[in-house]
Structure 1
Amino acid sequence: MIEDGEGFLYPQIDNSKCIQCGVCEKVCAVLHKERSRIPISIYVAKNANENIRMESSSGGIFTLIAEHILSEGGVVFGAKFNERWEVIHDYTETVKGLAEFRGSKYVQSSIGNTFQQVKLFLKAGRKVLFTGTPCQIIGLKKYLRKEYENLLTIDFICHGVPSPKVWRTYLEESLSNKRDSKYYPFFESEKNSINKIEFRSKLTGWKNYSFVLTFSRTMFNGGQMYTSIAWEN
């Protein structure tokens, strides 16, 4: 996967290793569009646990479904931040691990080798829940090339994702170029101590949600935090 000029990841063929089998074209979701489908049923629901809803972007349903899969010995895949605050796909086999997958992350995630991991778990008879964007879900299903009864996928309404490069640039600017801002002393002292990032925090309300950077080392009574209303950031 090679990053283009805008910072999006795209596959690039190593022609020295290519055997001209054509499988990459056969499983390409862009070349082979899926037909439109009418939903079988539509439900509206929310998690009754208010704490989970506060940690989630919307109703917290992902956590309920994921907990059910885990209770049956399954595996859950989702998007999370790595140690460099890049968005990647990973899996968990514990309820505690679900916390990292909760909440929207408006960045193209790196799939890595998770498709291969999904296939191994499925072949071992494990139930698998895979969450991601619609194009990631169809990518996984094209990769598997067959239906698995023990695979459950969840996607969401997607309007397109910003690139990892935009996200890196934003963080660098936020943490390094605040000399003319009232937040400058705060960013200078805390720039290497990010503890949590929330794209849709409900600290300022459900409708007036905000982007929040939380830092691990506290300097003031209420801890150290940078927040701004989403549409002002």
Structure 2
Amino acid sequence: MPTLCKYEECTGCQACIQACKHQALRPIQNQHGFIHPYVDEKACIECGLCEIICPILNSVWVKNKLEPRTLAAWHKDMEVRWKSSSGGAFSALADYVLEQRGVVFGAAVTTKCKIKHIGITQRMELDALRRSKYVQSDIGKSYIEAKKFLQDGRLVLFSGTPCQIAGLYAFLRNHQYDNLYTVDFICHGVPSPFVFEEYIKRMETKYGSDIVNINFRDKRNGVEANLLIVFNTLKSGVRIERFKDNSFYHGFISSVFLRDSCYKCQYATMPRYADITLADYRNIGNKKKFEHEKERPLGFTGVMVNNEHGEVLIQNSEIQYEERYFAELASSQPHLKVPISKPSCSDDFFECLKNEGYDKAAKRFLPMSIKKRIEIGARMLLGVKFFYALGKLVRILTGKRSLFIE
């Protein structure tokens, strides 16, 4: 039987599953809701392809920049920016690919609030791929679909977590397609789909209605305070959960229910695997004056152009941007250097969830601390620019890490 990567190192990219021509591997969910490959011994012919494909067992070839060209970017259309979590840069890149009759892959909220990777070919479909989704997406057969489009000569833009991009390259056997562009983002880690499912059930009970869609970072209070989760319900209309009242958001930010591999992620580093990396640009203006300060209320996307191929996509796209320093963006992004640490309560949370249900697990392990309430209050009161300036001053005066959110 094949020897796959260690269970706790598996990222759930499913490259091995999609590569198996004999359907001897299939996705199954573990007790925490994360997908792992299961080997059907009767169907397996022991060809070893799954071992060769695995990006954890076999390093993916990468030759990207350690300090890439860095931009503060935004979409020219104000409406698109408001619909995006940050500045809408992803939409600008996708617009170009779709205009060339290309295909764009990304994570979407599907039926029953499941997060899955889909491919789109029309601009009217693009809104489904916008905005952050704080759950691990099911990659499905999107690598197989992307490869077919590439071989047919179609332009493809594939977006996903860093480990999903590594999985795609591994699935493609490191073949360099000129018609493939990849986009990842600076990842905090992927929360459990099972925890999210239980959370959605709790919200549906609370509102007495099925939830048909969700926006994890709504901007109706402005981009400086987009800490709202907004639900579209079947019977009771739009419902809003503020960050301070939202247990799922607390658990995500506190890293309580992430995938095991996230705590030892080999992709939380430089250089990146994707052609382009996107991020929230939280501390813009810290290293040099920002010339487009008046645009700040609508939000910006931090863009790292990791190689020349990514540069081609930037130049062909109608993306608005200002040149920045890589060090400025990196200074507020610790997961360009190290993965997130596993909280000591993580295992206990899952055990409580299994035995006592979501409400009791959330009450016991996911309350908002006084420190976090102060952080959020300061951010709302000061605005992001002065919030991070104050954090920098604290570091200088105390010699310690900022007391505020990084």
TM-score range, shorter chain: 0.7 to 0.9
Q: Distance in 2 between matches of 1:60 and 1:130?
A: 16
**Is 1:2 equivalent to 2:19 in the alignment?**
no
Match among 191, 208, 229 for residue 225 of structure 2? 208
Corresponding residue for residue 226 of structure 1: 239
Corresponding residue for residue 128 of structure 1: 156
Query: What are the equivalent positions in structure 2 for 1:179-194 lying under 5 Å apart?
Result: 187-188=207-208, 191-192=209-210, 194=211
Give the match's secondary structure for 2:182. Answer: strand
Give the match's secondary structure for 1:46. Answer: strand
Corresponding residue for residue 87 of structure 1: 115
Query: What are the equivalent positions in structure 2 for 1:20-59 lying under 5 Å apart?
Result: 20-34=46-60, 37=64, 38-59=66-87
Q: Distance in 2 between matches of 1:151 and 1:169?
A: 37
Corresponding residue for residue 168 of structure 1: 197
Conservation of the 8 A alpha-carbon contact between 1:208 and 1:229: no
> How far apart are 1:82 and its partner, in Å?
1.4
Q: Distance in 1 between matches of 2:129 and 2:233?
A: 19
| Moved beyond 3 Å, runs of 4+ | 33-37
Q: Distance in 2 between matches of 1:40 and 1:198?
A: 31
Counterpart of 1:201, as a letter, is: D
Q: Distance in 2 between matches of 1:226 and 1:174?
A: 10
Q: Distance in 1 between matches of 2:218 and 2:47?
A: 47
> How far apart are 1:163 and its partner, in Å?
1.2
Corresponding residue for residue 283 of structure 2: none
Query: Is 31-40 or 86-95 further displaced after alignment?
Result: 31-40
> How far apart are 1:20 and its partner, in Å?
1.4
Corresponding residue for residue 152 of structure 1: 181
> How far apart are 1:81 and its partner, in Å?
1.4
- Cα gap change, 1:5/1:195 in structure 2, threshold over 3 Å: closer, same or farther? closer
Conservation of the 8 A alpha-carbon contact between 1:200 and 1:230: no
Counterpart of 1:116, as a letter, is: I
> How far apart are 1:207 and its partner, in Å?
2.6
Counterpart of 2:124, as a letter, is: K
> How far apart are 1:217 and its partner, in Å?
4.4
Corresponding residue for residue 215 of structure 2: 198
Conservation of the 8 A alpha-carbon contact between 2:109 and 2:213: no
Counterpart of 1:214, as a letter, is: N
The normalised TM-score by structure 1 is 0.87
The normalised TM-score by structure 2 is 0.51
Kindly tell me the number of residue pairs found equivalent between the two proteins: 216
Deviations 1:37-75 (A, max 9, x none): 514422221112121111111110111111100111111
Give the match's secondary structure for 1:44. Answer: strand
Could you tell me the percent identity over the aligned residues?
38
Conservation of the 8 A alpha-carbon contact between 1:208 and 1:230: no
Larger radius of gyration: 2
Match among 79, 96, 113 for residue 124 of structure 2? 96
Give the match's secondary structure for 2:71. Answer: coil
- Which ranges in structure 1 are unaligned for 5 or more consecutive residues? 179-186, 219-223
Conservation of the 8 A alpha-carbon contact between 2:113 and 2:213: no
Conservation of the 8 A alpha-carbon contact between 2:106 and 2:159: yes
Corresponding residue for residue 15 of structure 1: 41
Q: Distance in 2 between matches of 1:154 and 1:198?
A: 21
> How far apart are 1:6 and its partner, in Å?
0.7
Give the match's secondary structure for 2:69. Answer: coil
Deviations 1:143-199 (A, max 9, x none): 0111111000100000111111011100001111x3xxxxxxxx12xx12x343100
Counterpart of 1:139, as a letter, is: G
